[in-house]
Amino acid sequence: MEFSEHIKTANVEDVVLRRPFYQPTKGTLCVTGHHLIFSNRGGDSARPFLLLLRNIDAIEKSVENLLGYSRLFSSTGQSQRPSVSSGTITLKCKDLCVLQLDIPGMEECLNIASSIESLSSLETVSEMYPFFYRPPFLSLQDQWGLSSTEQHYAQMKEIHDGWRVSQVNRDYSVSPSYPPAVIVPHSIDDETLVKAARFRQGGRFPVLCYYHRETGTVIMRSSQPLSGANRKRCREDELLLQAVIDGSELGYIIDTRSSQQAQQARMTGGGFESKSCYRGWKRLHRQLEKGKVLQESLIKLVEACGDQSHSVDRWLSKLENSKWLSHVQTALSTAGLVAECVERDGHSVLVHGSEGTDTSLLVSSLAQLILDPDSRTLAGFLGLLEREWVQAGHPFQQRCAHSAYSHVRLRHEAPVFVLLLDCVWQLARQFPLAMGFSEPLLLRLAKEVYASDYGTFLCNSDQERCVTGVKERTHCLFQSLLRANERQHYSNPLYERTELAIWPSIQPPSLQLWKGLFLQWTDDALHLVEAQKVIQNLVSQCHRPLNEKVENTDG
């Protein structure tokens, strides 16, 4: 490994670390290939503080060389040795934590800073920490991932008549961002799929993501059709969609772009399903922001949360100006619309935007959470994320290269996944009993997606994960989260399964800023964490003695 060339100074003594919730502490700072390690000099039982370099979003340094100089001439007049120059490094992390290191020695400070800068921005996947992380409690022999398309299909007996698993993408040649296996209508053969794929951006032809038992209708997702300026048609694509609504008179296409955007997309070869070509499909447009707009929204929000000095008016205007809550509202309302089509109207839905790797996934997974009690359990939710985000080819590596603090020019960054987590949090807040998982899980995921010990969020697609050996040489986060002790921590103590759909309120007063995430490093968050603990204790206190007594009685 060549990490060592980036490390000019590996160790510095007498560094002062300042971080939220802790008193400043003095200790030794050590830079390794993937971590900053800070150990308290006292060396008590206190574990060293470990920071994944990948977690660092931005680094600011200020070097003070004048300190010693000014002291020489200070009026107190004590003749001092000119104290050594020192520097301060401010680390702004992707989990929104801001910490500060006071480092004695200007040169050391600059060395450390430059090591952090280069090591935190390494982009070779196979050099990333998940390839080196070997905890004793996990084995590389374990299954990577929770499930596969085939297993998922096998569990849904009720769809076996109308739907089949197609391996048409087994070598990723039909769609590089799709998994090898997908679920499609029984009546559509692979050849048709191949042709339909050529008519969809990135080969992402419509595939099944959710089957609604009560109505027998489905949610599908895809990318935009490549109808282009000449209004090209593709018979196979039309056949595929026809097969989806086979027998029923109507299906809805929820296009996550405005109709104007969809029109414009034709100029660049994209487009939309025209009414005349897709009989029985009705198109609805709901504009969801993504890409740069979303990233900038996050940046503005985090900036607003970081400044505690302004007045209520200014805070509210900054909050409004960030538009983040508007994005939450639109995402939830579009998902609500999809769910409504499926559950209330009994019509199948196809969701797509342009690439079909961002907002489509957001909407389809939120709709499933609204409708499907199975996806609201801890394991079910992680399974949903695996299917709808990891396997479905959300380009995590591109989207989460940088977070809200980075000064680097934006390329493909967009916090779509964070937006999903926020929406899920809003759902969980409105339905405190309906989710099997708790806020700490969402917070953990929000952190892991940017910087992780695990390989789950590496790469942009299943194909890339195979090529780089992620599945053989890293551990799977989802598996790890489901281990007994973790499961306990991430479960909702109030969970009580409901078979009903949970219709979120999208009225603005019902949607709140996710303090747990955006203000997690303030005192305010601490009180809420305490309250969570009390809830946990209460529930366990209430149940435990009772259960014991019942057992005694039975015995």
Give min distance, CB of 289 to another protein, in A.
13
Sign, Cα dihedral of 176, 235, 156, 360: positive
Binding segment toward another protein, per CB under 8 A, in 136-144, 146-154, 317-325, 483-491: 317-325
Identify the bridge partners of residue 60 per DSSP, sorted by sequence position.
Answer: 90
SS (H, E, C) 410-475: CCCCCCHHHHHHHHHHHHHHHCCCCCCECHHHHHHHHHHCCCCCCCCCCCCCHHHHHHCCHHHHCC
Interacting residues with another protein between 324 and 363 (CB under 8 A): 325-326, 328-330, 333-334, 336-337, 340, 344
Does residue 215 bind another protein (CB under 8 A)? no
- Kindly state the DSSP code that residue 15 receives in the 8-state scheme: E
Binding residue for another protein, selected from 139, 141, 313, 484, defined by CB under 8 A = 313
Beta carbons of 85 and 68 less than 8 angstroms apart: yes
Smaller CB separation from another protein, 354 or 438: 438
Smaller CB separation from another protein, 43 or 508: 508
Does residue 98 bind another protein (CB under 8 A)? no
455 — phi, psi (to 5°)?
A: -90, -5
Interacting residues with another protein between 469 and 528 (CB under 8 A): 494, 496, 498, 500-513, 515, 519, 522-524, 527-528
Binding residue for another protein, selected from 19, 54, 257, 286, defined by CB under 8 A = 286
Does residue 4 bind another protein (CB under 8 A)? no
| Cα 287 to Cα 295: distance, rounded to the nearest angstrom | 16
| Cα 533 to Cα 539: distance, rounded to the nearest angstrom | 10
Interacting residues with another protein between 526 and 545 (CB under 8 A): 527-528, 530-531, 534-535, 538-539, 542-543, 545
Smaller CB separation from another protein, 134 or 497: 497
Supply angle C-alpha 323, 364, 204, rounded to 5.
Answer: 110
Binding segment toward another protein, per CB under 8 A, in 40-48, 115-123, 303-311, 447-455: 303-311
Half-sphere CA count of 476, side-chain side, radius 13 A = 21
| Cα 178 to Cα 191: distance, rounded to the nearest angstrom | 17
Binding residue for another protein, selected from 323, 347, 402, 444, defined by CB under 8 A = 323
E strand residue ranges, 230-340:
251-255, 281-285
Does residue 124 bind another protein (CB under 8 A)? no
Does residue 462 bind another protein (CB under 8 A)? no
Does residue 213 bind another protein (CB under 8 A)? no
Residue 276's contacts (CB-CB under 8 Å, 6 or more residues apart) are none
Does residue 298 bind another protein (CB under 8 A)? no
Does residue 293 bind another protein (CB under 8 A)? no
E strand residue ranges, 231-331:
251-255, 281-285
Give the three-class secondary structure for 176. Answer: coil
Give the three-class secondary structure for 39. Answer: strand
Smaller CB separation from another protein, 128 or 331: 331
Provide the binding-site residues for another protein, judged by CB under 8 A: 286, 305, 308, 310-317, 319-320, 323, 325-326, 328-330, 333-334, 336-337, 340, 344, 429-434, 494, 496, 498, 500-513, 515, 519, 522-524, 527-528, 530-531, 534-535, 538-539, 542-543, 545-546, 549-550, 553-555
